[in-house]
Amino acid sequence: MTKLGIDDIADLREYERSRAQFRTEVIALKKRRRISVGPVVTVLFENRETIRFQIQEMARAEKIFTDEGIQTELDIYNPLIPEPGNLAATLFIELTVDDEMREWLPKLVGIERHVVIRLGDGPDADWVRATVDADHEKQLTRDEITAAVHYIHFSFSPNQIALLKGRPSALVVDHPEFVFETPLTSDNIAELVADLVG
C-alpha cells in the first residue's frame, strides 16, 4: 500500500467540508477491521484510509497548519500502513476506570508480543505472531506497567496468505494473564487479505 504524503492530507478548511462523509466511511471500514479479544483488548488492523483519518483528525484537534507539522504526523503514522505480505495494527487495552487500570496495566506487561493470528485449527494450524516496532516499544513498554496502546505488525509468507483465505482463522492473545481468542469473520478476512496482497 502506498504511504501517505503531504498532498494526501487536506488543509483544515477543506477537511471540514468533507469530514462528515469521510468519518462515516471510516467508521464503517473500522467495523470490518476492529476485533475485540476478551474483555479489555481490541485490535484495529490499520490501512491507508484509517491512517489518513487518524492524521486528519490529529491535525484538526491540534490545529496543525504547516507542512512540517503534517510531515511529523506522517513520519509517526506511515509505518502503520501495511505493505504486501504484512499487516499493521493498533492494539488497545480498553480501560476507563482508574481501579481497572491499576489492576490490568501491570498484569499485561508484554502483551504486544502475545498476539497471534491462528490459521486453521488443531495440529495443522499455522501461527503468525505479532512483532513490535522497536522505536514504539521503547516509548510504550516498561518492566512494571504497560501502555494502553501498542503498534504491532504481522508478516505472512505466501503460503500463510493462502491459508488465511481458505481456513477458519482466529485472532488469539496468549499472554500468561490474559488468554482469549476471537474467530475472524469473512469481512475481517477479506480486509486482511486485501492488505496482504496489496
C-alpha cell at 53: 483519518
Residues 24-75 have pLDDT tens digits of 999 999 999 999 999 999 999 999 999 999 999 999 999 998 999 999 999 9
pLDDT at 172: 98
- Separation between Cα atoms, residue 134 and residue 129, nearest integer Å: 16
- Separation between Cα atoms, residue 146 and residue 185, nearest integer Å: 29
Kindly list the domain boundaries of the chain, sorted by start residue.
6-197
Residues 87-139 have pLDDT tens digits of 999 999 999 899 999 999 999 999 999 999 999 988 889 999 999 977 666 66
Classify burial at 139, counting beta carbons within 10 Å of its beta carbon; exposed 0-12, middle 13-18, buried 19 or more.
exposed
pLDDT at 138: 66
pLDDT at 40: 95
